[in-house]
Each structure stands twice: as C-alpha cells, then as structure tokens.
Amino acid sequence: MPQTITAARLHTQAQTWINPVITLDDDGRIQSVESAAASTDDTILTPTFFDIHIHGAVNHDVMEGTPEAFARIGSFLAARGVGHYLATTVTAGIDATLRALEGIATQVELPSHEGATPLGIHLEGPFVSHAKRGVHPPEHIVPPTIELFDRFQQAARGTIRLITLAPEIPGALDLIRHATAKGVKVSLGHSNATAAETHAAIAAGATSATHTFNAMRPLDHREPGILGVVLDDPTLFAELICDGIHVAPELVRLFYKAKGASRAILVTDGMSATGMPDGTYMLGGFEVEVADGRCMANGVLAGSVLTMDRAVANFASFTGAAFAEVTDLASTNPARMLGLEAQMAIAPGQPANFNRYNPDGTLHATILNGRRVV
C-alpha cells in the first residue's frame, strides 16, 4: 500500500503546495504531489539541507575517510536537517591530502547511507593565499597547478565537485578554466585579490565565493577587492556562515540585500567539535580550541560548531526574511550552484527527502528516502 506524507504546506523554490499529499513508492521515492481540500496537519515541509562546506562533527573529521567517521557525521547531520553534503578538506601535506581524498571517495561511492549522504568533495586548500590563509598551515600552501589538481581528482576518483582557491595566485586562472571544463565548480576564497583579479576569475569560470567576508581582502571604496565584487556581481553565488560570530548581523543583512534569495548560500563550515562540549578538537591535522561557540587556532577563527538548522534560524532572525525563503539558501541554492537542482528536486521519481517544521519554525523531523530518521 502506498505511503503518504501530509502537511499544511510544502515549500519549494518552484512553488508552495497547500495541504500537500505526497505519495511514495515502496523505495521511498515520490510518486506524486497533490493538494488536498483540507488538512488537520499544521506542520511545514521543505527540502532537506545541502551543506557544501563542512569539515566534520561529533569528534570526527571527514579527512579521516573511515566508515565510522562518515557514519557518525552523517547521522548527526541528518538530525539537524541535512540530507546531503560535500565533505570538505583543509590544507595538509600533499601525501596526506591524497590519502584523505582516497578515503573520502570510498565513502562517497557507497550505494546508500543511513544518514546524510556525501555527494562529493569540496577541496578547500591548498591553493589559498598566504595573506588570507586563516588557519590553513602555511607550510602546506602551494601554488595552483593543473597537474596537482588532476592528481587530487585522480585520488578522489572524480568525486571532487568544488574547489576553493585564491584567484590572485599565479596559475589560478588556468586552473579555474581547467576545472570548470572538467565539470568542477570553483569558489573564490582565502584571498587577497583585487577587484580586477576577481573579475578575471569570474570570467574564467568561477561561480561562487567561500564564506563571504571571512579570509577576504577588506572592502575599500577605491579598491573594492574580492569582497566588493562578490557582493556586487549578480551572477556569483556566495556562501555565508551565519552563527553570529563569523559575520555581524548588520553585514548579514547587507549580504542578503546584495546577493538576494537566488544567489545566497548558507554553510556551516562545521568542524569535528560540532555537537561536542568545549575542549580541544582536530581540524584536518591541527588542534583547535573550542569555547563558548568559538573555534580558535593560533588566535584565528577555525571553522565553527554551527548546525544548519541553527544557521537558518539565525538568518531568518537577523534579516526578517520569510522562513520558507531562507530554507532555500540552505537547500536549493547550493544545489543550483553545483548544477544538481534536478537531482535534488521535489518531483516524481526523486527520493522523498524532507524537513518537517513546527508552525513556529523549529525543526520537528527529518525524512530521508521516505523514512523519518529523527
């Protein structure tokens, strides 16, 4: 007998269904979506979140590349509304990075996952600026080359979907063109680029910006730099860490006015300390001290302990934007940036992946493949 899922509303970027009745097949895939005349259900359904920038959680880092690490991370993320994510690396030695990519690829290639599904890899580093490296270890930062990127992608067995790089570094534009031609998206970040250097990177194919405001050349009224271009260019997607620590609420509002509902992307930049008490945790190969929500290494912010449900709630609170609109920033927009919107759509034949919210906007449950996981 077909299973059905009901709610007061189903919001997608394409439309909002009133009193939806979603019929599923035995495999947890959507057969149909229709509107009923009435419903006693007062909850709201949205697509599950897609975190394209996350390093780990619950005392595990994705660079461990082990079944245990990915099982624990995936289970935790699903409990916070995440259905899919990109396992994000951090700058390390080349051999260590190659080993990590091989291990992550093995987990990405698994036919099924109990919790959130890793859809690929976000390579953050080693092609970053020394001037805006943040916590990326300086001894492992290297210039971008097509040869090294291809070695990384070979180790990852083609699962790298996104790379972060600084566009001002010699060789960056050639790599942007090469990666883009291979179907890998390029995000600009950890960068001290001028406006001209940023425009050149966008012309070469870059499509997004990594954790806007953080590890970027400051805005200047005569040299707007990378930040000015990121905020101004209507074609560029842009990430934001909305934990109230990385970016002040005033600038969250400015960011939303600049990027709008179709280009803004919420990310967590979460690290292994996410979901854990204060203490010392690992980010890639180095230690991070966590206290009162701040992750610090050598006096610099090092990732976050933000969860995506909290990011959505913060963003709605800071901006006053409609809750249903904000959920798109954490689901539809990252999928669109990566060219995965069809794969992630709420449509017949697609897996039934939903977040269910109470009327007050609190996350009530996560449904993956038609089954409630939390």
Q: What was the pLDDT predicted at 253?
A: 98
Q: Are residues 236 and 321 in the same domain?
A: yes
In this predicted model, what pLDDT tens digit does every residue of 136-162 receive, in sequence order? 999 999 999 999 999 999 999 999 999
Which residues are annotated as catalytic? 269
Distance separating alpha carbons of residues 290 and 296, to the nearest angstrom: 6
pLDDT for 224 beyond 80: yes
pLDDT (tens digit per residue) in 61-83: 999 999 999 999 999 999 999 99
Is 290 in the same domain as 359? no
- Average the pLDDT over 169-187 and give the result: 98
pLDDT of residue 343: 86
pLDDT at 1: 64
Residues 31, 71, single domain; the answer is: no
Q: Is residue 14 part of a domain?
A: yes
Q: Are residues 12 and 89 in the same domain?
A: no
CA distances (Å), origin 369, targets 113, 354, 365:
10, 9, 13
Same domain, 286 and 270: yes
> Would you say 224 and 195 are in contact if contact means Cβ atoms under 8 Å apart?
yes
185, part of any domain: yes
Residue 70 sits in the same domain as residue 142: yes
Confidence of residue 196 (pLDDT cuts 50, 70, 90): very high
Structure tokens of 160? 């790298």
What is the CATH number for 30?
A: 2.30.40.10
Rounded Cα gap, residues 270 and 177, in angstroms? 29
Give me the domain span that covers residue 25: 3-44+350-372
Q: Report CA dihedral (242, 246, 251, 255) to the nearest 10 degrees.
A: -50
Q: Does residue 343 lie in a domain region?
A: no
Q: Looking at the whole model, is its pTM more than 0.85?
A: yes
Contact status, residue 293 vs residue 254, Cβ threshold 8 Å? no
Domain count, the chain: 2
Mean pLDDT value across residues 265-271? 98
Q: Tokens standing for 339?
A: 């060219």
275 shares its domain with 178: yes
**285 and 361 housed in the same domain:** no
